[in-house]
Structure 1
Amino acid sequence: MPGEIRGLNEECGVFGVFGHPEAAQLTYYGLHALQHRGQEGAGVVTTDGENVHAVKGHGLVNEVFSENQLVELVGHASVGHVRYATAGDGGYENIQPLLFRTQKESMALAHNGNLVNAQGLKNQLEAQGSILQTTSDTEVIAHLIQRAGNVYKEEAIAQALSMVKGAYSLAILTETCMYVAMDPRGLRPLSIGKLGDAYIVSSETCAFDVIGATHVREVKPGELIKIDEDGMKSRRFTSKIQRTLCSMEYVYFSRPDSDLDGKNVHASRKTMGRKLAEESFVEADVVTGVPDSSISAAIGYAEEASLPYELGLIKNRYVGRTFIQPSQELREQGVKMKLSAVRGIVEGKRVVMVDDSIVRGTTSRRIVQMLKDAGATEVHVRIASPPIKNPCYYGIDTSTSGELLAATRTLEEMKEEIGADSLHFLSTDGLESSIHEGEQSLEHGSCQACFTGNYPTEIFPSTIPPYEKE
């Protein structure tokens, strides 16, 4: 459950197993651990070495898979996916893994990210005779692999990946092996683990803990890994690499018990809170965070400011997320249903409310009012990330620029809009230093395009929606 970032849908979650007799069951539990990354649909494809089996559907993991279906998903290898619709609509055909069958072999693809040149490639493929079955950019990768001709599969995948641009953490399953790849910028996380002799692939390391696997290492930018009965082999499909992992993974998307680049997400968020207190201290009586992703930053802020941290806001965990409601009116009503202010904590107090981000401002405004209705004398809003001013083209379903509060208003105007007594955001330098705290030398940075407008890759005109070009 996010803080204010209800205008940003999570990307997707990828999970895979190779070399375990209960691959489907492990993938089911792994997808549960990644459920926060996608609640629109889920799917699993397995293989027993000769045949592939698939189950997918709309909804949460426990809604898509029954016990009987899991039993039917036989095999020692599997790939699974949870998603939100970023590229492509929410139709059943777009739910991943996408499964393609040819006379030689089958191929299932699970993809986290977004290809910024997908539309141009689709146009080329259709002009050459391809018939696309989905509106997902992931299908482009499958067609490019197949069109590589008679070269062996690993080389075909490498050729295909050299043609696509953007963000992709990718798992590909055939009858006999699994391939894992990451884009040259490493924009989306993906890690390798082991469970006995079995290999595990996951978007986040928290899923390893759920099934008892050991985290081995992260997939490297520009790396293509082949996993089969002979073990794991790695190669680079490009030499042009420079990792810029999405900073919003640290701010919001990843679970606090996951590790990114060897750093714990909870610890990074606490550091963001400490930096935020250094940059924007205010006299107050109590600090509270918006459940759940803002709690770590709120604790860090309270520690640095020498103020008590309290549960001033309580979340009702049995209400759906506000951003998936179909209208703004229902979305606003959902905020009141899922969050409650604790009057006994905030009444008569000057409250620092820490949140992870502001997108439209709707939720922040309602939470500020909720705290004041509960008796808070002042509400000072502190945001543990810079202002979001630009859309993301790498797999986060951001609002349009016109809907982003920070894109159209000054800091003072935003403060008035949400009804806060004061408002401050973490600086971009503060965010970057929080992510890389303790590193002796900075080998790579993070993508902060949504804050700065500096995109780490070329953004093709066909990627930008018509309403953003006006």
Structure 2
Amino acid sequence: MGIGHVRYPTAGSSNHAEAQPFYVNSPYGIVFAHNGNLINTAELLQFMDQTAHRHINTSSDSELLLNIFADNLQKTGKFRINEEDIFNAIRDLMQQCKGAYACVAMLAGFGIIAFRDPHGIRPVGLASRVAAGGQGKDYLFASESVVADASGFTDWEDVKPGEAVIITRSSVSRRQVGHGAAFAPDIFEYVYFARPDSVLDGISVYRSRMAMGDALADEVERVLREKQLSVDVVIPVPDTSRVAALNLAQKLNVPYREGFIKNRYVGRTFIMPGQQMRRKNVRRKLNAMALEFANKNVLIVDDSIVRGTTSKEIIQMAKDVGAKKVIVASCAPPIRYSNVYGIDMPSRMELVAHNKSTEEIAEAIGADLVIFQTLPDLISSVRQFNTDISTFDCSVFTGEYVTGGVDEDYLAGLERLRADNVKAKAIVGGLGPLEGKGGGGVAERPNGASGAASEDVEVTSSESKNGADTVGLHNSWKL
């Protein structure tokens, strides 16, 4: 039985004290991992200090969530708790905590637990397999279904929004404990974050990206006709945009080529602190092949444009090897607003699309033309594979936050943590953690009949990444 968590430091934080899972020994011994971000941390910290009298050691809201859960269990006053007590504790937690959270926990001598916020913004699911020896079952929680596939688990099911799942040696219990919120998974999971071979909330990430390419092809065709332009070749920015770019090229009847070769030994430029470092590492990470660019009008397809740093360098690389015109097509609409639910995006002022028109964005990144997917087309591309989902969190495109409670003061505080100059100071000056870390928690335990499988314990790590510059999940609270 165990819990793991995929982590890298964001916002300059590399403090080992913030590595998940977190642990408290009172009550009962609880190990806890979390993926997402709370938005009412100031209120919760005050409650922890003045009412619960629990000390929070780090600036991670994962530790805060753990202590809320532990405090709710402690209120039972019992030496031994039961499933009803745990469900009630999670129900109370969901009434106290606002934001996005997909959580896994392990209670010493009891079992493993998973739960998901009432909006279902961040993903988590459950799978099983026959235990070693053929008796009983092993169970696994993970952020993405690909973890179950890779580990030989089957029967993947998503944990529903507001649902809690408890697995003991003898049973699996599920209960809806959070109510009254609209199901709104983050659409950016499908655009960028999730691996293409995952299925999230019944939607194949791969098929949704194919549909994004088809929809984007229609928009590209319309704009090119309006501008009286043509393209000679479609080239993706590796790796996330490949699926969409191939469908787009096929629909436009334009050759698809791999014009950028990726150096897989360079770190993720998205999370590197400082424009200069990101710019330098883009050049190290990608190499443009002149054969595919020289004397051509090139359509470069990317999953999204965030800071514009990568896009600007890529466009210049294409021009350096002889491209006549460089047109950029984005599978996502312009990202103009901060993400507050667990993706470590920069401050609004650092977003290249913030307060800019499409023409101004093109000028800023050096493109001859930029074409964005429309938001209705993006939503349709994803939703068509599960029409039971009526709403997605699209806050990075619209500035509308599904949980409410996100005001200008909160955003300003978040931006103070995320700004490049703050990150640089943290690294140079060793100021300690500013934000938490990201990735999906995963828990697994054998549930063998008569204890037959109790020795065959495994810990599986969920790699919530797409093979490219994974956008970092952050767990932060307002300082």
Q: TM-score if structure 1 supplies the norm length? A: 0.80
How many residues were matched structurally?
Answer: 391
Matched, 1:430 2:377: yes
Match of 2:175 in 1: 235
Structure 1 gaps of 5+ residues are 1-76
Matched, 1:448 2:394: yes
Match of 2:67 in 1: 143
| Counterpart residue identity of residue 271, structure 1 | A
Please point out which of 25, 31, 38 is paired with 1:108. 31
| Structure 1 residue 467, shift from structure 2 partner | 7.3
Contact 1:106–1:174 (Cα < 8 Å) also in 2 = yes
Please point out which of 253, 257, 280 is paired with 2:193. 253
Contact 1:87–1:395 (Cα < 8 Å) also in 2 = no
| Structure 1 residue 404, shift from structure 2 partner | 0.8
CA distance in 2, matches of 1:93, 1:468: 23
Match of 2:133 in 1: none
| Counterpart residue identity of residue 239, structure 2 | D
* Cα 1:314–1:352 shift into 2, 3 Å: same
CA distance in 2, matches of 1:237, 1:88: 36
CA distance in 2, matches of 1:224, 1:250: 24
CA distance in 2, matches of 1:144, 1:331: 38
CA distance in 1, matches of 2:280, 2:380: 37
- Where relative contact order (Cα < 8 A, 6+ residues apart) is larger, the structure is 2
Task: Please identify which structure carries the higher strand content.
Answer: 1
Match of 1:323 in 2: 270
Matched, 1:130 2:58: no
| Structure 1 residue 457, shift from structure 2 partner | 0.8
Contact 2:117–2:178 (Cα < 8 Å) also in 1 = no
Please point out which of 88, 95, 112 is paired with 2:19. 95
Which 4+ runs in 1 deviate beyond 3 A?
Answer: 84-90, 460-463, 465-469
Q: Report 1:289-368 matches (<5 A).
A: 289-368=236-315
Match of 2:322 in 1: 375
Contact 1:284–1:350 (Cα < 8 Å) also in 2 = yes
Per-residue CA deviation, residues 306-335 of structure 1 (Å, 9 max, x unaligned), is 111110111011111223433321211100
Per-residue CA deviation, residues 29-83 of structure 1 (Å, 9 max, x unaligned), is xxxxxxxxxxxxxxxxxxxxxxxxxxxxxxxxxxxxxxxxxxxxxxxx1111012
Please point out which of 201, 205, 209 is paired with 1:265. 205
Match of 2:165 in 1: 225
Contact 2:352–2:364 (Cα < 8 Å) also in 1 = no
CA distance in 1, matches of 2:147, 2:220: 36
Secondary structure at 2:343's aligned position in 1? coil
Q: TM-score if structure 2 supplies the norm length? A: 0.78
CA distance in 2, matches of 1:432, 1:405: 22
Match of 1:28 in 2: none
For the aligned residue pairs, the C-alpha RMSD in angstroms reads: 1.9
| Counterpart residue identity of residue 117, structure 2 | D
Secondary structure at 2:6's aligned position in 1? strand
Please point out which of 171, 176, 179 is paired with 2:104. 171
| Structure 1 residue 437, shift from structure 2 partner | 2.1
Secondary structure at 2:5's aligned position in 1? strand
Contact 2:127–2:140 (Cα < 8 Å) also in 1 = yes
